[in-house]
Amino acid sequence: MHTLNALTLRIELVDIQPVIFRQVIVPGDITLTVLHQVIQTAFGWGDCHLHEFTFGKTRYEPPSLPSELPDDETLSTIEVRLNRALGGSRQFFYSYDFGDGWQHLITAEEWAPADTLNVPTCVDGANACPPEDVGGPNGYMDFVEAMADPTHEEHAEMMRWHGKRFDPKRFSVTAVNRRLRTIKL
């Protein structure tokens, strides 16, 4: 018998044009800790910075983060399941690298039957993930402009910093799924 336990998520970076997104299928009862790994892997982030999930007014962070504010009501991601955190909502946010300020809008698109789902699966996406520490959405747009124009005054510096050419349109479902296979659910 099939149960409705697979959830398709559209994960889109906010304030970036053209749109950078990944569409992944995960179990509806995935923990937020594992969902963090899925997002990092699907986008190609390096998991080098702090992160947070926000569902309405409720925030979840890894338990290893000490609160700086005495009245902070941020909850731990440990053992929190996506279907429970969602409640009746269809959208939530994932923040990554508080310095660069990357915001991901996540939309729960559809529930589907699944007998087994051993690994998360990417079914669609568009465009390359920005490099770590590029300076957030504005820094990324400047980076793309400089990298695309060899005559740009910052082109050589950006090439040295990044270490290789950068194609902002590069995206491969196959490559993402190869990386996602390392995450066991």
Strands ordered across the beta sheet of 58-61: 75-76, 58-61, 51-55, 91-96, 102-113, 4-13, 21-27, 121-126
pLDDT of residue 1: 36
Name the H helices within 28-114: 32-43, 82-86
What does pTM read for this prediction? 0.91
- In whole angstroms, give the CA distance from residue 80 to residue 52: 13
Domains of the chain (ranges, CATH numbers) = 4-128+171-180 (3.10.290.30)
pLDDT tens column, 124-150: 999 999 999 999 999 999 999 999 999
* Structure token digits, residue 29: 């009862």
* Structure token digits, residue 171: 């995206």
pLDDT of residue 110: 86
pLDDT of residue 147: 96
Question: Position 146: which residue type?
Answer: A
pLDDT tens column, 13-65: 999 999 999 999 999 999 999 999 999 999 999 999 999 999 999 999 887 65
Q: Which range (69-78, 157-166, 176-185) has the least confidence?
A: 69-78
